[in-house]
Structure 1
Amino acid sequence: MGLFSFIKEAGEKLFGAGEAKAAQETATKTPTSVNVDAANTAAAKAIQNYIAKNNLPTAGYDIKFDGASATVIAQGNVETQEIKEKILLCCGNVAGVEAVQDQLYVPSQQAEARFYTVVKGDTLSRIAKEMYGNANAYMKIFEANRPMLNHPDKIYPGQALRIPE
């Protein structure tokens, strides 16, 4: 368990309209001008839908969003460390999310992957060279981040990636 930091301006644009967008703005508006609970619930639902869209399990845990702190809270039970890490990345790689509070429990201890934040000019080959000493190991990173990544060349600055051992 812990708190993972993300780049708030980078990521999937899930909070585009309606109450979900209002969740991002709660810090700048008075509580009476926005239904904060409804906005946070709508944002959490958008993140849950994004997790489901990436073919990750959605049962056994809850996703909550606090717009004032731009924090996602993921709590409950998941089957494997890999699924846990992918859920956390889905939650954090969303524009408007600054942190993810990990309260997910995995029944059997497994090695945690490292995380890497993409910077301008990065490619999976460059990251593989830095992490593994072999640029040709980029497919290992690509596969570890599927289905969030659908092409090895489609990464962006600010995106967090799993780097398995």
Structure 2
Amino acid sequence: MGLFDFARNIGKKIFSNDDEAAEKLKAHIEADNPGMKDLTVEYTDGVAKISGQAKDSAALEKAVLMAGNVEGVGEVQLGEVSGAEPSENVSYYEIQSGDSLWKIAEKAYGNGSQYTKIFEENKEVIKDPDLIYPGQKIRIPNA
């Protein structure tokens, strides 16, 4: 599973039509800015394209996840992005039915109490650790 493909029919609904999608996606990312400057977002037929300057790999990955975990977005592409590339030191996980951050931490780290690490690394993507949904993608930092 790659970073850039998402389930288009799930996630938080933040736009009503394609004409407002780019503006709403940009505002959504900027509201909890993970470290992107000069952010631009384009949207066409389910594909969001992000450009700008990333503070680091985590900022870029979080911006991609924030855009991709929105209803109506099936793919996120990188446009002109400077400052970082997606890290190889992180895995991506798609939430399954019945998952909790505790269960995911047990799978990833062998210790459920490490769920706080996962939550902290995804706080821009997950607002409440008790409110995750099947199909949502998150970052799992390698141990």
TM-score over 0.5 (shorter chain): yes
Task: Note the residue ranges of structure 2 that are not aligned, 5 or more in a row.
Answer: none
Instruction: Tell me the percent identity.
Output: 34
Unaligned runs of 5+ in 1: 24-38
Q: When you count strand as a share of all residues, which structure comes out higher?
A: 2
Deviation at 1:105, TM superposition (A): 3.0
TM-score normalised over the length of structure 1: 0.76
Count residues with an aligned counterpart. Answer: 140
Residue in 1 that maps onto 2:14: 14
Residues 116 and 107 of structure 1, relative CA distance in 2, 3 Å threshold: closer
Give the letter aligned to residue 10 of structure 2: A
Q: Is the counterpart of residue 52 in structure 1 residue 30 in structure 2?
A: yes
Measured after TM superposition, the shift of residue 158 of structure 1 is: 1.0
What is the SS of the residue equivalent to 1:59? strand
The aligned runs of 1:25-44 (5 Å cut-off) are: 39=19, 42-44=20-22
Please identify, of 149-158 and 117-126, the stretch whose mean Cα deviation from structure 2 is larger: 149-158
> For residue 101 of structure 2, what is the amino acid of its counterpart?
L
Cα deviation code 1:77-111 (max 9, x no counterpart): 21101101110001101000000112433358854
The alignment's C-alpha RMSD in Å is: 2.1
CA distance in 2, matches of 1:136, 1:3: 25
Q: 1:59: how far off?
A: 2.5
Asked if 1 retains the 8 angstrom alpha-carbon contact of 2:58 and 2:86, the reply is no
Task: Determine if contact 2:95/2:134 at 8 Å carries over to the other structure.
Answer: yes
TM-score in terms of structure 2 length: 0.87
